Amino acid sequence: MKKESNHNQLTFKKDSKEALFTKEFLVLNGIIFLVYCNIAIFFQFYQYLKSLSIEPEWIGFLIGLFSLTALVIRPFVSPILNPENAIKWIYISLIAVIISLLLYYPAKGQLSMAFVRIMHGAAYVIMATAVIAKVVGVIPPKRSGEAFGMISVITLLPYAVIPPILPPLIKKFDGFIPVLYLTALILVFVFPLLFLLKGKKSKQSAIPSDRIHLNDLIEDLSDKRILLLLIISLLLFTAFTPIFYFIKSYGESVGITNPGWFFTISTFTEIAVRVFGGRMFDKFNKSVLLFISLFGLMVGYILLANIKGILLFYWLGFFFGLSWGGALPVLNSLIFDISLPRFRALNTNLGLEMFQGGFFLGPFIGGFFIANWNYSVLYYFCATLIVVGMAFTFMVTKIDRRS
């Protein structure tokens, strides 16, 4: 009896390690990197569309149509995809993404380009949703902060790597379309990676794979904390994109000679925060960490609206990187932690829906503010969005305390 008891204790200790960096987790992060490279490669899509016989008023719509398609489709596919059927849908959507990239060449007019953008956006969102559904199935619940810290670094890397090498690639291959073909070729390497994944969810995951129905979705969103966190995510990304899209033109308008360094500094600062602070996210109260990060962003937007000198401009890049680096993974981790186990894949993908919504609303609102007022008014508006997010974070904390 004693030997049997000791054996059980040893088995329990072994199972309780909750390893994060498993083969599946690392392979899935490699696939996530390639998925986001497929998006980052379109940094110079605006210049390509201007070279075609497309009317100028269509260009902004065609750029945003990709995100709009993903925004519409994700709520329908998120309840369907789960850790057990994800690999099949990654295969299907990956083939569709590769075909979409090849179709950009014959698409020369408004309607044909709109069709390709819709097809590409639909294929991308199914692939990204399936990958996330699979990855949340291998995350140990007690290491969610560290896991999402790493995932958020992987999603940032393409935006740090691709833009600097894109102009020389376009020059070397004599155009934007050959670079898209090169991207399609690189995505082919995802297929062998999929053979390394298991069809079933990890034993250490507590996430069931039953299909989510409408009643389940209503039950999930009846938790006010989940609803508030999703709204905070939408506010955060809506405020983020006016920097992402307009910081270059704003910097030039106030006399900054090379404003592109702002985003380079902020991106690498975000990566550093997530790499070195990943494990810390699980050791402190995440609602408090989110509130502090949002407060930092509010201050940053107010300072950005009143920028005068080049030194403060670049320091703000570092400051925003610190705040974004804390806010985004902590927000994802909170959604993961608060969710019931069977809703974790669904809610993680709903968080990505908010990301897509922000990337649609932010440029639309930003363009309106710049056309009618100026950059300072735009960034004050962004600060206001963050203040609303802080209020909602306080409400989440208050609900937790009552519970």
Tokens of 301: 């937007």
Q: What is the pLDDT of residues 254-287, one digit of tens each?
A: 888 767 678 778 888 988 887 777 667 777 788 8
The upper half-sphere exposure of residue 384, i.e. CA atoms within 13 Å in the direction of its Cβ, equals 6
Q: Averaged over 360-374, what is the pLDDT?
A: 80
Q: pLDDT exceeding 70 applies to what percent of the chain?
A: 88
Q: How confident is the model at residue 338 (pLDDT cuts 50, 70, 90)?
A: confident
- 106, amino acid identity: P
Say yes or no to pLDDT of 158 above 60.
yes
200, 203, 204, 209 alpha-carbon torsion, rounded to 10°? 40
Highest mean pLDDT among 196-200, 242-246, 316-320 belongs to: 316-320
Please report where in the chains the tokens 């690999």 appear, as a residue: 87
Query: Whose CA is closest to 138, among 198, 200, 204, 209?
Result: 204
- pLDDT in the model for residue 7: 46
Question: How many Å apart are CA 322 and CA 21, to the nearest integer?
Answer: 25
pLDDT at residue 10, rounded to an integer: 42
How many Cα neighbours within 13 Å face the side chain of 26? 5
Question: Sorting pLDDT into bands at 50, 70 and 90, what band is 403?
Answer: low
> Is residue 204 predicted with pLDDT exceeding 60?
no
Q: pLDDT at residue 104 above 80? A: yes
Can you give the pLDDT at residue 185?
Answer: 93
pLDDT reported for residue 1: 47
Band of the pLDDT at 13, cuts 50, 70, 90?
very low
Higher-scoring residue by pLDDT: 323, 42:
323
* Overall average pLDDT of the 59-81 stretch: 83
| Mean pLDDT computed over 300-318 | 90
| Alpha-carbon distances, residue 122 vs 65, 70, 234, 287 (angstroms) | 10, 6, 20, 33
pLDDT value, residue 17: 52
- CA 175/CA 161 separation, integer angstroms: 19
Specify the pLDDT at position 211: 58
pLDDT of residue 319: 94
Task: State the chain's mean pLDDT as an integer.
Answer: 82
d(CA 110, CA 224): 42
Angle 310-338/286-305 helices, nearest 10 degrees?
150
The pLDDT of residue 233 is: 94
d(CA 290, CA 329) in angstroms, rounded, equals 9
Q: Note the pLDDT tens digit of each residue in 36-61.
A: 888 878 877 777 887 888 887 777 67
Residue 200 DSSP symbol: S
Mean pLDDT value across residues 288-293: 92
Q: How far is CA 35 from CA 3, 20, 159, 209, in A?
A: 50, 21, 12, 23
pLDDT of res. 16: 42
CA pseudo-torsion sign 245, 248, 253, 259:
positive
Give the model's confidence band at 401: pLDDT under 50 very low, under 70 low, under 90 confident, else very high. Answer: low
Q: How confident is the model at residue 8 (pLDDT cuts 50, 70, 90)?
A: very low
Which residue's entry shows tokens 């399936």? 130
Please tell me the distance from the alpha carbon of residue 208 to that of residue 28, in angstroms, as a whole number: 19
pLDDT of 203 strictly over 70 = no
Pick from 230, 261, 243: nearest CA to 347 = 230
